[in-house]
Amino acid sequence: MSTQRIITTLFALLAVLTLSSSSAFAKGKPAFGARVGLSSSPDQFVFGVQSSFGKAGGAAGTADFVPSVDLGFGDNFTSLLINGDLRWYLMRLPETGIKFYGAAGPTVAYYSAKGGGTATEIGLSLTAGARIPMKGYRSYNVEVRFGFGDIPDLKVILALMF
């Protein structure tokens, strides 16, 4: 299967998951957004899409399901990463609405080298971030992702959620 077909299929699957209100995690309004950032090892420019299913701010015992798909370019590789995170909101700054969170989940990475050759790897991502509210239902997410296994060691991501 070609890389373009895989990417198209994954983006379509993420869109369907986002629009599905029957998800077990869809206790609140699902959110959808675009992501951009940088990764280290491999050093790449990264962009992608993200969804969030849950109430976005319950107690630390309530997890939101936050899947995302990232495409990376640079370091003589093209990468496709699929993340399936569970996010826990840990603390809220009074009067600002800013919520800090931690997340963990599996990551599947598909790498394609410029000179030929491909590899598929699986790892674990641990994330620390902040959700910064905007007017309406929109928000920004700023996060740092730490990878364990054969996935990027570090990613810094900014997301705009709708």
Extents of the domains making up the chain: 3-161
Q: What average pLDDT does range 110-119 have in this prediction?
A: 91
pTM of the complete model: 0.80
Cβ-based neighbours of 104, under 8 Å, separated by 6 or more: 85, 86, 124, 125, 126, 127
Higher-confidence residue of 135 and 51: namely: 51
Tell me the pLDDT tens digit for each residue of 9-67: 555 555 555 444 334 444 567 889 999 999 999 999 999 999 988 765 555 567 889 99
pLDDT band at 139 (very low <50, low <70, confident <90, very high): very high
Q: Give the pair of three-digit tokens for residue 96.
A: 């600002």
- Residue 6's region, left for phi above 0, alpha for psi from -120 to 50, else beta, is alpha
How many whole angstroms separate alpha carbon 9 and alpha carbon 94?
41
Among the residue ranges 54-63, 95-104, 108-117, 145-154, the one predicted with the least confidence is 54-63
How many other CB atoms are there within 10 angstroms of residue 115's CB atom?
Answer: 5
Instruction: Identify any residues that bridge with 64 across adjacent strands, giving them in sequence order.
Output: 87
Class assignment of domain 3-161?
mainly beta
